[in-house]
């Protein structure tokens, strides 16, 4: 009996440790973590247990969405820190939101700037999903306020 209780206690402890280890890490000064937590606003288009998708605050195409993991990682450099389910959910969500916006047949682009040289400005991994119009090569780096 004592042995069974000890075994159960050890099992419960191991389960708790697993839960703690898998709890999403949030960065308190990260704007996208705040959007995930609901403490910053966003125009959400899709959510599941792993990812969130919302409109870019400064759209540079007719459709310009961002797809992010709920768990904070800074960039693609840390992709391996995400559980496999989240990695799969990210790509599926990019295609799903593009389909929901009606842009898959016309064509769309998925972009992930990773690091300084790529011009990453928000250091919470995100995929830009852009489309809804003929995209230029510099689709998301171009300032729409400047011509042409
Ligand atoms: P990056 O330059 O890192 O590839 O892309 C960051 C993107 O996040 C930019 O397109 C920028 O407009 C967008 N962004 C920055 N802050 C916010 C925000 O508070 N809300 C939303 N929805 N998008 C943001
Ligand atoms: Zn974050």
What ligand 1 atom has the least distance to the C-alpha of 40?
Answer: 19
Boundaries of domain holding 48 = 2-131
In a domain, 146, yes or no: no
Higher pLDDT, 50 or 6: 50
Higher pLDDT, 17 or 113: 113
The predicted structure's pLDDT at residue 139: 82
Domain count, the chain: 1
Q: pLDDT grade, residue 27 (50/70/90)?
A: confident
**48 alpha-carbon distance from chain centroid:** 11
Q: Would you name the residues annotated as active-site residues?
A: 126
Question: What's the 88 CA to ligand 1 centre distance in angstroms?
Answer: 22
Would you tell me how many other CB atoms lie within 10 Å of the CB of residue 61? 23
Half-sphere CA count of 19, side-chain side, radius 13 A: 6
In a domain, 123, yes or no: yes
The predicted structure's pLDDT at residue 137: 87
What ligand 1 atom has the least distance to the C-alpha of 60?
Answer: 10
In a domain, 107, yes or no: yes
Q: Determine which helix (DSSP H) or strand (DSSP E) holds 76, and give its type and residue range.
A: none
In a domain, 41, yes or no: yes
In a domain, 147, yes or no: no
Report CA dihedral (134, 140, 145, 148) to the nearest 10 degrees.
Answer: -50
In a domain, 104, yes or no: yes
Q: Dmax of the chain from CA atoms?
A: 79
Say if residues 79 and 73 touch (Cβ distance below 8 Å).
Answer: yes
In a domain, 113, yes or no: yes
Question: What's the 25 CA to ligand 2 centre distance in angstroms?
Answer: 8
The CATH number assigned to the domain holding 118 equals 3.30.428.10
- In this predicted structure, the answer to whether residue 2 has a pLDDT above a threshold of 70 is no
């Amino acid at each position: 009996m004592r042995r069974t209780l000890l075994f159960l206690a050890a099992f419960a402890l191991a389960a708790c440790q697993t839960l703690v280890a898998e709890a999403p890490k949030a960065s308190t000064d990260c704007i996208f973590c705040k959007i995930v937590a609901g403490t910053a606003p966003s125009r959400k288009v899709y959510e599941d247990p792993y990812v969130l998708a919302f409109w870019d605050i400064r759209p540079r195409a007719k459709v310009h969405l961002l797809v992010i993991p709920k768990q904070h990682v800074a960039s693609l450099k840390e992709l391996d820190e995400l559980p496999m389910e989240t990695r799969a959910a990210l790509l599926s969500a990019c295609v799903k939101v593009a389909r929901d916006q009606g842009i898959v047949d016309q064509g769309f682009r998925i972009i992930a700037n990773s690091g300084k040289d790529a011009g990453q400005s928000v250091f919470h991994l995100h995929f830009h999903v852009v489309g809804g119009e003929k995209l230029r090569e510099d689709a998301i780096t171009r300032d729409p306020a400047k011509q042409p």
